[in-house]
Amino acid sequence: MNRKTQLMWLPSAGFGIGGIVAAYSGDLLIYGLGMMGFLGGAAVGYARIGTVSSALLSGLYGAVGFFVGFYVSFLLVLDVWEPPLHYFFMGIISGAIGGAFIGLSLRQKKAIVRIGLGGALAFGAGLSLLNVVNSPIIFAVSMMIGGGILSLFLKDL
């Protein structure tokens, strides 16, 4: 399998599987979202660099980034105000923080900015599906879409 194909499907699969874990984590949702960040970040690291150590490092950064990102977005969006498109704003906040952390693991300044912006767009778009239909399967699909969109921002790094 060539590198371009890996860059496209691995992040989508990682975030999609992580989305299933998070969607069915129940009361431990915030930890499920951290696990989603780990699986998605590991997929990005492996797709980008191709070693297990880079996958584990990116996974660790992704877990911390998405844990912090979703925690901050829960505080801002759900506790301070609840806009009509609250899932969209939660996706933007958590995607930007989680993406920036994954970019940090790649040790390139442009990766931090590019993946942070890509994460904001990707997960804002993906989570906006939950404003229409709120279900665990739609959440997993939205994470898969987010991972697919995020992979577009990895192309020229």
* Rounded Cα distance, 111 and 107, in Å: 7
Q: Which amino acid is at 38?
A: F
Buried b (16+ CB within 10 A) or exposed e, 18-50: bbbbbbebeeeeeebbbbbbbbbbbbbbbbbbe
Spell out the domain ranges in the chain: 3-152
pLDDT higher than 70, residue 6: no
* Rounded Cα distance, 15 and 1, in Å: 20
pLDDT at 39: 92
How does pLDDT run across 120-131, given as a tens digit for each residue? 998 888 888 877
pLDDT higher than 70, residue 34: yes
pLDDT higher than 80, residue 46: yes
**Distance from chain centroid for Cα 148:** 10
- Per-residue tokens: 67: 């844990």
pLDDT higher than 70, residue 7: no
Residues whose CB falls within 8 Å of the CB of residue 43, separated by 6 or more in sequence, listed in order: 10, 11, 13, 14, 15, 55, 147
How does pLDDT run across 11-25, given as a tens digit for each residue? 888 888 988 888 898
Which of the four pLDDT bands, split at 50, 70 and 90, describes residue 97?
A: very high
Which of the four pLDDT bands, split at 50, 70 and 90, describes residue 5?
A: low
